[in-house]
Structure 1
Amino acid sequence: MGSSRYGCRPTKRTGNVGCTPTIRTTASTSTVSTTTRPCTNARGRSFSYGFHTTPVLPSVLKKRSADSSSLISSSSEQQQQQKEKKRRKATVESSSASTTTTTTTPANDGGPAEVRVLHILKKHEGSRRPSSWRNPKITATKEEAHEELQGLLEILQEEANNPKELRATFEELARTESDCSSAKRGGDLGFFGRKKMQPAFEEASFALKKGEMTKTIVDTSSGSHIILRIG
């Protein structure tokens, strides 16, 4: 049988190389370690082959450990810095959102943002739409409309000192005399804010106090009005 690359002869019993797998190692912190393997060559002579390694010195191990710790520490610091940046950014965004949502625009001149009124409308031939539920074709002049409203205004002024009676009388007259579709609700237009009505009507409505009625007739492109603020 041929010899192995190390000059060792395989045994017939096992088929393995006839090398004794005993390893003797001489280690030192300052010298080279040598490992020997005893073998028998093809002629039956014993010999040993070996290899040596340079041991890692304690100082080197200590330095490697320190470098590893430094890397871990540096990575940890970077992660902490990233977390801190994210936390600060979230705080700033939250503060900005809070400031935006809590900022409100005050009402003009410190007045109410909305008012609620009743009104009685008298249309005339010069109205934007000279027709109503009461009369499909209105031909009365503006002066005639004013005369009719003036008569209603005198009736209402008799109740001016009694808010409850004033409102009841106003609603009753609106149901029968107003040319607005709100007549069926006693002239109630509900709540409305700025820039929702025609300028003259809005100005007169916001100038009234709650329970107060206009003392004069208010003209708009829709017709002529008497207004009572109820909210």
Structure 2
Amino acid sequence: MKILLIEDDQALSEALAISLRDAGLLVEAAFTGGDGDFLLRTEQYDAVILDLGLPDGDGTRWLSQWRDDGIALPVLVLTARERWSDKAAGFSAGADDYVTKPFETAEVLFRLRALVRRSHGHAHPVLNAGDLSFDTHTGSVSLAGRPVTLTAQESRLLAYLMHAQERVVSRTELSEHVYDRDHEPDSNVIDVQISRLRRKLGGERIVTLRGQGYRLVIPEDESSEAHDGR
């Protein structure tokens, strides 16, 4: 999950970014609405954390402009403004959720994960693809009920494929959403990590479509078992 954090309080931004990265998220920060707007229009993100009291214009103005321009990714407003009128203005501008300062980082994390999950059409916090399960809250992975140990990067890669399951995901999309902008993977890094996931999860679970990308599928035997169990 790749997050754009737009917050003008640099100390708060750095502290929140560290906590979110420790939880396995990729975070890129901007300290003004203009810088955030530039990044949002030139890079790919899964969600935005937006402060309202920005030095170059109210956050609701930037948010309204994004929505008018068809930018639909989830936006979590994070602000000290707690009056109902401020919340109403945030939601009216296009916010998907609203958290007031001071806040618990865990709450922000849970809300972010829920927003991203629902943006992909998943209501339950545990994503399933046959016998494979991924808990979006804890990051734990299990296969046929047995825990699977993944590296942090493998976990991020699998999480994105699980959110997008059955949809073909291009190498470019994976690169933009799973890897840090300042540490873009070499041409074969994604292939190597996909190969490692296949060894741990089963080779038939991640399909390569030449010239298109990758798709997470439910193996036929697991699909048949699920059908027989209904």
TM range (shorter): under 0.3
Which one has a larger percent helix, Structure 1 or Structure 2?
A: 2
- Structure with greater contact order relative to length (CA < 8 Å, sep ≥ 6): 1
TM normalised by structure 1 equals 0.20
Based on CA coordinates, which of the two structures has the bigger radius of gyration? 1
TM normalised by structure 2 equals 0.20
